[in-house]
Structure 1
Amino acid sequence: MDSFSFGEWTLRWLDGGVTNMDGGAMFGVVPKPLWSKKYPVNDQNQIELPTEPILIEMDGHRVLLESGVGAGKLSEKQKRNYGVTRESHMTESLNKLGMKAEDIDIVIMTHMHFDHAGGLTRKEGGELVSAFPNAKIYASKVEWDEMRAPNIRSKNTYWEENWKSIEDQVLPFNGEISILPGLKMIHTGGHSDGHCIVLLEQNGETMIHMADLMPTHAHKNPLWVLAYDDYPMNSIAAKQKWIKKGIQENWWFIFYHDSFYRAVKWDQDGKEIIESVKRHSFGD
Structure 2
Amino acid sequence: MEELYFLNDGTYELDSGAYFGIVPKVLWSRYFHDRENKIRIGTNIPFLRLNNKNIIIDAGIGDNFSDRFRKIFRPEKERDISISLVRDYHVKSIDHIILSHMHFDHNGHIFSGNPIFRNSQIVMQEKELKAFRHPNDFTRGSYIPGRIYGEIKTLTGSRKINGNVTAINTGGHTEGHMVIIFEVNSKKYMYGGDLFPSWFHIKPYYITAIDSYPIETLKMKKKLLKKAIRENISIVFNHDRENVMAKIYGTPEKPEIEFQK
Instruction: Name the count of aligned residue pairs.
Output: 259
Partner residue, 1:156: 141
Percent identity, please. 29
CA distance in 2, matches of 1:227, 1:87: 29
CA distance in 2, matches of 1:139, 1:130: 21
Counterpart among 189, 199, 219 of residue 201 in structure 2: 219
Amino acid at match of 2:221: K
1:88-237 equivalent positions in 2, closer than 5 A? 89-100=80-91, 102-122=92-112, 132-161=117-146, 164-166=147-149, 169-201=151-183, 205-237=187-219
- Give yes or no for contact 1:70–1:87 (8 Å, CA) kept in 2: no
Partner residue, 1:77: 68
CA distance in 1, matches of 2:165, 2:78: 28
Counterpart among 35, 45, 48 of residue 53 in structure 1: 45
Structure 2 counterpart SS, 1:171: strand
Partner residue, 1:243: 225
User: What is the RMSD computed on CA atoms of the aligned residues?
Assistant: 2.1
- Give yes or no for contact 1:129–1:165 (8 Å, CA) kept in 2: no
Counterpart among 15, 18, 24 of residue 17 in structure 2: 24
- Give yes or no for contact 1:69–1:87 (8 Å, CA) kept in 2: no
1:129, CA displacement in angstroms?
6.7
- Give yes or no for contact 2:8–2:81 (8 Å, CA) kept in 1: yes
Tell me the TM-score normalised to structure 1 length: 0.84
Task: Tell which deviates more after alignment, 152-161 or 238-247.
Answer: 152-161
CA distance in 2, matches of 1:273, 1:224: 15
- Give yes or no for contact 2:44–2:244 (8 Å, CA) kept in 1: no
Deviations 1:133-160 (A, max 9, x none): 2211100000011111111222222222
* Residue 274 (1) aligns with residue 249 (2): no
Amino acid at match of 1:215: P
CA distance in 1, matches of 2:259, 2:68: 40
- Give yes or no for contact 2:109–2:117 (8 Å, CA) kept in 1: no
Amino acid at match of 1:31: P
Q: Which structure 1 segments of 5+ residues have no match?
A: 1-7, 123-127, 278-284
Task: Give the direction of change, closer, same or farther, for the CA distance of 1:119–1:204 in structure 2 (3 Å limit).
Answer: closer
Tell me the TM-score normalised to structure 2 length: 0.91
Structure 2 counterpart SS, 1:51: strand
* Residue 34 (1) aligns with residue 27 (2): yes
CA distance in 2, matches of 1:64, 1:256: 12
CA distance in 1, matches of 2:119, 2:184: 26
Counterpart among 3, 28, 42 of residue 10 in structure 1: 3
1:106, CA displacement in angstroms?
0.6
Task: Tell which deviates more after alignment, 209-218 or 75-84.
Answer: 75-84
CA distance in 1, matches of 2:213, 2:222: 15
Deviations 1:249-279 (A, max 9, x none): 32101122111111111333555433412xx
Q: Which structure 2 segments of 5+ residues have no match?
A: none
Structure 2 counterpart SS, 1:211: coil
